[in-house]
């Protein structure tokens, strides 16, 4: 596949300085295994595409957004009503954030069910989970930025949860809020997290994650081990198909943004009462509803604290999946992992639906 560059040409000049031929060589030999679950390989790329959209639309929003309690809401209102295509940029930013978290979850569960976390991809799994955590952090911090009623009180509830963690809870809540309560300092901090700290960390982790994917290649499911699977060239065959998936994602994104523009709601009033039936974004609904179900006290332990401890243990167990999924002989406990994956997925779907409809 690799084609030699003509001496004296621009390609040759660049190749000498950037080592493009090595890249070309790598791309020419990169393949994707073909099997019944190949379709799930596309979701990592779709997540990356949506992240790129987030960066681009986020940069455009930065041109007008003002991170202060007196101006934040008005600046978003200005973007939506006065700036040419501002409504589209803001709606796409909000919708793609949600779609990105959705596809990240799909990508994670596809990795679980295809057992792609197994040796030597443990660090790829860990970096992926940190990236998912960062995406949720993006969601939590970005939710407050329009400074509307719902986002204000959702942030209040969220940071209150952090405060209930023993030992360092109050310090963490104070660090997040920049004070005793959610206010102007919180908005400034969340803005800082959203546009500087989280993007920096995400870029770093993304480089590691993608680098590891290239280092280890695409994983084949355990049930195909020992078989000679057909392979598809990554360039251009798989890449063109991925491009089609991106276009499809763009179509869905554009339709959602145009038909259901992201609402701005009412401006936050710190002295007002919380809106009735307040609930977080859909990706936090399952833990939110679980905490609602736990009694205020179980034995002598506070219910919320008990719930948070449970989530921490669950998260730790999930993070360590590649390590407990392999037995002492190095074989993957596929049934256990699939069962755990199905159970977690069922919990997330059921409790999110219950949290939404109740």
Partner 1 sequence: MAAAAFQGGLLLLVPLASAKDSCVECHGNMDGTLKAPVTEYTNDIHAQHGFSCADCHGGDRNADDPEAAMSAAKGFKGHIARTAVPALCAHCHSDAALMHRYKPQQRVDQLALYVTSVHGKRLANGDTGVATCVDCHSVHNIREVKDPLSPVYPLKLPETCARCHADAAHMAPYKIATSQFAEYRTSVHWEALSKRGDLSAPNCASCHGNHGATPPQVASVADVCGTCHVLFEEMYNKSPHKPAFAAMGAGGCTVCHSNHAIHKPGIGMLAGAGSVCAQCHEANSGGGAAAAQMAGLLTKLDSALNQSDTVLNRARDSGMEVSEPILRQMEGREDLVKARVAMHEFRVASVAKPVADGLAVAAETRRAGEKALQDRDSRRVGLALSLVTILITMAGLWMAIRSLESKPSAVPKPAGR
Contact footprint for partner 1 (CB under 8 A): 31, 33-34, 77, 80-81, 87-88, 217-220, 228-233, 236-237, 240-241, 243-244, 247-248, 250-251, 254-255, 258-261, 263-264, 266
Instruction: Pick the closer one to partner 1 by CB: 43 or 246.
Output: 246
* Integer angstrom CA distances of residue 220 from 21, 118, 223, 337: 28, 10, 8, 16
Two structure tokens written together for 289: 């509803």
For residue 236, cis peptide bond before it (omega within 30 degrees of 0) = yes
Task: For partner 1, give the closer residue by CB, 80 or 205.
Answer: 80
Work out how close the CB of 85 gets to partner 1 at its nearest, in angstroms, rounded to a whole number: 10
User: Of 81 and 171, which has the nearer Cβ to partner 1?
Assistant: 81
Q: Which one, 92 or 161, has the nearer CB to partner 1? A: 92
Q: Which is nearer to partner 1, 16 or 25 (CB)?
A: 25
Axis-axis angle for helices 86-113, 42-62 (nearest 10): 150
Cα 3 to Cα 27, 28, 69, 319: the distances in Å are: 12, 10, 57, 43
To the nearest whole angstrom, how small is the minimum distance from the Cβ of residue 92 to partner 1?
12
Q: How far is the CB of 354 from partner 1 (least distance, A)?
A: 27
Closest distance between partner 1 and the C-beta of residue 163, in Å? 33
Q: How far is the CB of 227 from partner 1 (least distance, A)?
A: 10
CB of 296 to partner 1, least distance (A): 29
116 vs 141 by CB, closer to partner 1: 116
On the CB side of 5, CA atoms within 13 Å amount to 16
* Helix segments in the chain, DSSP class H: 10-18, 20-29, 42-62, 72-81, 86-113, 122-144, 149-163, 169-177, 184-192, 198-216, 239-259, 285-293, 303-319, 321-324, 334-357
Q: Which residue in the block uniquely carries the two structure tokens 């994917």?
A: 213
């Amino acid at each position: 596949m690799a084609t030699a560059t003509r001496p004296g040409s621009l390609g040759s000049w660049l190749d000498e300085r950037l080592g493009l031929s090595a890249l070309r060589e790598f791309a020419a030999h990169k393949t994707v295994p073909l099997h019944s679950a190949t379709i799930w390989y596309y979701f990592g790329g779709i997540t990356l595409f949506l992240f790129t959209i987030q960066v681009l639309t986020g940069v455009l929003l930065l041109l007008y957004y003002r991170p202060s309690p007196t101006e934040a809401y008005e600046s978003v209102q200005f973007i939506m009503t006065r700036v040419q295509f501002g409504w589209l940029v803001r709606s796409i930013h909000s919708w793609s954030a949600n779609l990105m978290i959705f596809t990240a979850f799909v990508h994670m569960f596809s990795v679980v069910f295809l057992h792609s976390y197994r040796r030597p991809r443990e660090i790829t799994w860990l970096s992926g989970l940190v990236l998912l955590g960062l995406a949720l952090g993006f969601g939590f911090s970005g939710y407050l930025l329009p400074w509307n009623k719902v986002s204000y009180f959702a942030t209040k509830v969220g940071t209150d949860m952090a405060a209930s963690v023993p030992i360092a809870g109050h310090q963490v809540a104070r660090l997040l809020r920049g004070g005793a309560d959610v206010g102007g300092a919180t908005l400034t901090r969340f803005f800082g997290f959203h546009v500087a700290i989280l993007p920096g960390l995400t870029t770093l982790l993304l480089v590691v994650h993608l680098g590891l994917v290239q280092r280890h290649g695409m994983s084949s499911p355990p049930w195909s081990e020992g078989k000679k699977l057909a392979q598809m060239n990554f360039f251009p065959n798989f890449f063109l198909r991925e491009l089609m998936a991106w276009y499809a994602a763009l179509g869905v994104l554009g339709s959602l943004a145009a038909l259901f523009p992201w609402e701005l709601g009412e401006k936050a009033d710190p002295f007002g009462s919380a809106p009735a039936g307040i609930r977080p974004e859909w990706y936090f609904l399952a833990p939110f509803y679980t905490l609602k179900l736990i009694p205020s006290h179980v034995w002598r332990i506070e219910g919320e604290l008990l719930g948070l401890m449970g989530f921490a243990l669950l998260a730790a167990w999930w993070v360590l999946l590649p390590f407990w999924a392999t037995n002492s002989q190095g074989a993957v406990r596929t049934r256990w992992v699939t069962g755990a994956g199905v159970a977690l997925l069922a919990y997330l779907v059921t409790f999110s639906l219950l949290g939404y409809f109740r």
